[in-house]
Amino acid sequence: MLTTVVGSFPHKLYSPSTFSEKIKNTLGQFDPYKKTIRDIVFDELKAGVDIVADGGVREMNMINYFSRYMPGMKIDGKTTVIKSKILPPRTDITINDINTACDAIWEYKRLHNIPDEEFKNKAVKGVVTGPSTMVYSSMIESFYKNKSDAVLDYAKAFNRELLAIEKKTPAVYIQIDEPILSTGIADLDVAKEAIDIMTEGVKIPIAVHSCGSVKDTYRYLAKFNVDMLDFEFAGNHDNFVTIKHNKSKFKDKIIGFGCVDSAIDQVDDKYRTRELMHKAVDVFGEDNLIFDPDCGLGKLSHDNAFRKLELMCNLNNEFDD
């Protein structure tokens, strides 16, 4: 199976240190996040992850990272406020970071003299926040009378970014994060329609990551027109039973199988994780699975986050033996 990450990873931020960085900083051209993204990708590769991501390091916030660029949305303090009709961004948002992450793959390979054969599954993906999560995490100040209209407008406006990811980066798929869906506050039919609108014309595979329990949402999620659904299975034991018993509803989907717990800052038990991964293969089959952590690991200690990825990748390698 391939392995991937969901998103965030513990990292440090840099200040300009070399002469050229200091000059660039004076000219407003120093990007402190570039080195951070490189660090994250190097860690992911060292742990053995196949499909890496940039870690979503900007703003430290999955809403403001995008809303900053969306006409109609403003950041007041730390909160995004919707002030007028949401329109397409005038600039690309994630493109540079995805390309920085991709460059880091090849730099790591070069630095460690890794043969092509060993790196044939390495790739980068794009990660964006979904329209429902964007709107339900924002305050509507004016223009929209209901959240659903704002969700659909956001989806329409953000389609530009997904098309740009496909055209301007080597991302092998795009993951849309929708943590709001499991909270029960978002309209799931609107969420589905919004994903259709946002992904219109995009040909690379699309994944939706939903955090938490899927007990009340799996029926809706199974009908999403996406290639992959990514859920938590290590920290949410009920999810395995729910999806297993409703396997036929997911037969046309790849399951992103969260197999290490992202909520506990302690490395998972090897035997328990191995058993969970074997159960996943028995139920869904090797061709229908991709392994990842339950959610982003950004809140954990660096050492434990790294060791969780390493454990997942080492156990995944056992399937080839």
Positions that interact with Zn ion (CB under 5 A):
211, 295
Among residues 164 and 211, whose Cβ is nearest to Zn ion?
211
Among residues 82 and 297, whose Cβ is nearest to Zn ion?
297
The CA distance from 222 to 251, in Å, is: 9
In the complex, minimum distance from the CB of residue 269 to Zn ion, in angstroms, rounded to a whole number? 21
78: alpha, beta or left? (left if phi > 0; alpha if psi -120 to 50):
alpha
Among residues 148 and 236, whose Cβ is nearest to Zn ion?
236
Tokens of 221: 């999620």
> At 122, is the secondary structure helix, strand, or coil?
coil
Among residues 164 and 295, whose Cβ is nearest to Zn ion?
295
Tokens of 135: 């709107």
In the complex, minimum distance from the CB of residue 101 to Zn ion, in angstroms, rounded to a whole number? 19
Placement of tokens 């931020």 in the chain: 13
| Residue 57 CB partners (closer than 8 Å, separation 6+) | 8, 11, 13, 33, 36, 37, 40, 97
What is the bridge-based pairing of β-strands 126-129 and 174-177? Answer: parallel
Nearest CA to 133 out of 113, 150, 115, 120 is that of 150
Among residues 211 and 267, whose Cβ is nearest to Zn ion?
211
In the complex, minimum distance from the CB of residue 271 to Zn ion, in angstroms, rounded to a whole number? 25
In the complex, minimum distance from the CB of residue 209 to Zn ion, in angstroms, rounded to a whole number? 6
In the complex, minimum distance from the CB of residue 287 to Zn ion, in angstroms, rounded to a whole number? 24
Q: How many CA atoms lie within 13 A of 16 on its CB side?
A: 13
What one-letter code names the amino acid at 48? G
Nearest CA to 214 out of 222, 225, 202 is that of 222
In the complex, minimum distance from the CB of residue 203 to Zn ion, in angstroms, rounded to a whole number? 26
Among residues 211 and 312, whose Cβ is nearest to Zn ion?
211
